[in-house]
Structure 1
Amino acid sequence: MVDSAGQPKTQATPSGYGPAQLHGAYTSQVLAPNKQIIAIVDAYDDPNILSDLNTYNKTYNIPLLPTCSSAVATSLTPCFQKLDQRGGIKYPAVDAGWALEISLDVEAAHAICQNCSILLIEADSASYINLMAAVDRAITSGATVVSNSYGSSEFSGETDYDTHFNHLGVAFTFSSGDGGYGVEYPAASQYVTAVGGTTLLLNSDNSYKSESAWSGAGSGCSLYGTKPLWQHDTYCLNRTVADISAVADPNTGVAVYDSIRYQNKSGWFKVGGTSLAAPVVAGIYSLAGGVSSGVQGDSLPYSNGSYLTNIHDILTGSNGTCGGSYLCTATVGFDGPTGLGSPIGISAF
């Protein structure tokens, strides 16, 4: 999640979880069963993203992604494509904070789904007008899953933007926020999967040990968003955030390679935030084969999820104080900071 200064949440140390740890936590599967295109929507340009992704892939010995020789939708093999919000290559200005965000989003998505094509759409700026143009471009370019790691405080009129996410057969993941209890848009849209955040602990063999609600994850009752039919919690009359969760705590974050100098350093960063959780969940949607035609993507964890088989129920941790305690404190079943919980494998999607 990019903060108010346009900067991802970072840890100074160049360590962190890699692909093996993410798969140990959430799914052993690394390949999608069919062609999947994960679109990453961000603002501004990262001119080094493909070379940085290659460095990441070589470091962890996972498949390289070549540049697409034609439109990503027509490619017969997995590839990487970068477009501006108009579908061309007139990329916007470089921004160091957003470049780190781009590296995080692209590398995390590829770490999870290693045969998915990656389509990076760079908006001209972080304005809603430009970001929504980038979202629209992702859809017209053939994306099956769209990962988004940005948001703002709610505002009257936010639901006017919901039409950009109202596409059956496509999953939209949005970070829930990094400021603790409170709701952000577009995570509050009824048409997206709002991804909360956890502190993830692993065993020495990289297997799952435990998760707790991360104190920075956004959650709560939306002021304006309509409650989806599949949400049944009773305290919120409107949309409740979040839906599902994944690792986000910067202290248990991931290693990200970014050669654009940021805060007086470049190279390996340890990064967290629900910016991380959103592309992780996007990757898992893709591993599951995407969303069937005629289905709204954010309904799937509610219809397919089971605490007996494919959802970790997260029982500890809090992100603040609130009126309805489940909205800010992890508890049995659904809660605000972690939603239904975190994925076990792909069958919840």
Structure 2
Amino acid sequence: MRKIPRIAALAAGFACAAAGALAIAGPASATGTSSASPATPVYAKVCANTTGPRCLAIVNRTASQHSELAMAKGANATPDGLGPTDIQSAYNLSGGASGGTVALIEAGNYPSIEQDLQTYRNQYGLSQCTKANGCLKVVNMNGQTSPLPSNDNDWAVETALDMDAVSSACPACHILVVEAPSENDVQSMLTFDRNMATANASAAKLGAKASSNSWGDKPSLEKYATDSAVQAGYNQPSMVTAVSSGDDGKDGGITVPSSFTSVVAVGGTTLKKDSSARGWTETAWNGAGSGCSKKIKAPSWQSSIKACNGKRALTDVSAVADPATGLAIYGPDPYGGSGSQWQVVGGTSLSSPLVAAIYTRAGNTGSGSAVHNASSLYSHTADLNDVTSGNNGSCGAPVCTAGKGWDGPTGLGTPNGLGAF
């Protein structure tokens, strides 16, 4: 299991590649030598598996260090990063159903899950979400409360991000965490993908209205898109399945399971406050995954998208993902130390659980209708914020560059209330 070097190594390099996608420092970052100034944000992928599936969370090291120091000063301190009020303001979230369940498809166990979630919710004045009151449930990939898989610190950070994102967008939602074995505990990448698909199916059986899958397999393994077990697990008519599109821009390629037509592929934006009537502005995040599937045909509801020549086009919808404007979370130390801490985290691992929570808050899922996949979004574009600037690569519009209507990095746009969901 890879550990990110402790905060003392913050000088490690991180930059935007010329093509617009994220570039992250390699193993040399552990030396702590770089010309980066303290004011230059430094980022690190939480799960750094380069040969197969991984989670898609990115820690903003610089903001996390500042937040950790600030929170140590006393009870009146406020964590860096976006909070629940920001998320609900930016996406015009009010009303909606209460008590629906959002499933989070994770890998590896998270021992301090309940304590960390409560610390987060206490900070923002949200109601308790515990196992005892029925708000939080943790099961294995088969939907059973035991045995849970072995612990995995990297994925625990991912799980913390997912839980806190759901809490931000839908404080009244229940949270179901479904834990499959991590990629370190399986014999093959296909086994991992099948296990995650099994976990997603278990979430539907347990009554979740929507699930979030904040992970992706490497582009060359889109061959797994034709695996019947993986396909079946991600085709759940009673549940919306939101999937992160990736954190390496257009050049990162299409990943499984985001390319399935049975899921909602979620891209990413940079979200900042401004003086507009909305109070916020969004641009395409340069790390958001997008592109055209090589294996999967375009569904009927993407027939108007010509850029992918009849293949499935990614993405469908988006939300904030840029770690520079990431979410404040409370979770395990991603640097390998003991205990938990406040951090600022982004990646499309943030946008996916936000979208899943908004679907659940809207309360329209679970009917077995087309709401379970992305098709309903394409008939409700007026209820989305169209993102018209920014890019994630050099291939131009619409696959790499945001513009009016559908584009690769942001799909049809970001939530503007619950109407599209």
Q: Same fold (TM over 0.5)?
A: yes
Find out whether 1:42 has 2:106 as its counterpart.
Answer: yes
Find out whether 1:262 has 2:329 as its counterpart.
Answer: no
Distance in 2 (CA, whole Å) between partners of 1:290 and 1:3 is 33
Cα 1:59–1:292 shift into 2, 3 Å: same
Match of 1:272 in 2: 346
Match of 1:286 in 2: 360
Shift of 1:299: 1.4
Could you give the per-residue CA deviations for residues 57-113 of structure 1, whole angstroms, max 9, x where no partner exists? Answer: 0000011112156xxxxxxxx611001112232111111111100000011112211
Distance in 2 (CA, whole Å) between partners of 1:325 and 1:184 is 20
Bigger relative contact order (CA 8 A; separation at least 6): 1
Distance in 1 (CA, whole Å) between partners of 2:198 and 2:280 is 41
CA contact (8 A) 2:152 2:182 kept: no
- One-letter amino acid of the structure 1 residue matched with residue 209 of structure 2: T
Shift of 1:300: 1.6
- One-letter amino acid of the structure 2 residue matched with residue 285 of structure 1: Y
Distance in 1 (CA, whole Å) between partners of 2:46 and 2:259 is 17
Find out whether 1:233 has 2:305 as its counterpart.
Answer: yes
Find out whether 1:11 has 2:60 as its counterpart.
Answer: yes
2:146 corresponds to which of 85, 89, 97: 89
Q: Unaligned stretches of 5+ in structure 1?
A: 70-77
Match of 2:237 in 1: 168
TM-score (norm 1): 0.91
Match of 1:73 in 2: none
CA contact (8 A) 2:290 2:315 kept: yes
Q: Unaligned stretches of 5+ in structure 2?
A: 1-44, 68-79, 184-191
Of 49-58 and 80-89, the range deviating more from structure 2: 80-89
Of 183-192 and 162-171, the range deviating more from structure 2: 162-171
CA contact (8 A) 1:305 1:347 kept: no
**Alignment length, in residue pairs?**
335
- One-letter amino acid of the structure 2 residue matched with residue 88 of structure 1: T
The root-mean-square deviation of aligned C-alpha atoms, in Å, is 2.0
Match of 2:170 in 1: 113
Find out whether 1:60 has 2:124 as its counterpart.
Answer: yes
CA contact (8 A) 1:32 1:115 kept: no
Distance in 2 (CA, whole Å) between partners of 1:134 and 1:302 is 28
Distance in 2 (CA, whole Å) between partners of 1:117 and 1:38 is 6
CA contact (8 A) 2:166 2:353 kept: yes
Could you give the per-residue CA deviations for residues 273-317 of structure 1, whole angstroms, max 9, x where no partner exists? Answer: 0000000011110111032513132212112221xxx21111111
TM-score (norm 2): 0.76
2:401 corresponds to which of 305, 320, 329: 329
Compare CA radii of gyration and give the structure with the larger one: 2
Match of 2:287 in 1: 216
- One-letter amino acid of the structure 1 residue matched with residue 341 of structure 2: G
Match of 1:74 in 2: none
- One-letter amino acid of the structure 2 residue matched with residue 337 of structure 1: P
SS in 2 for 1:327: coil
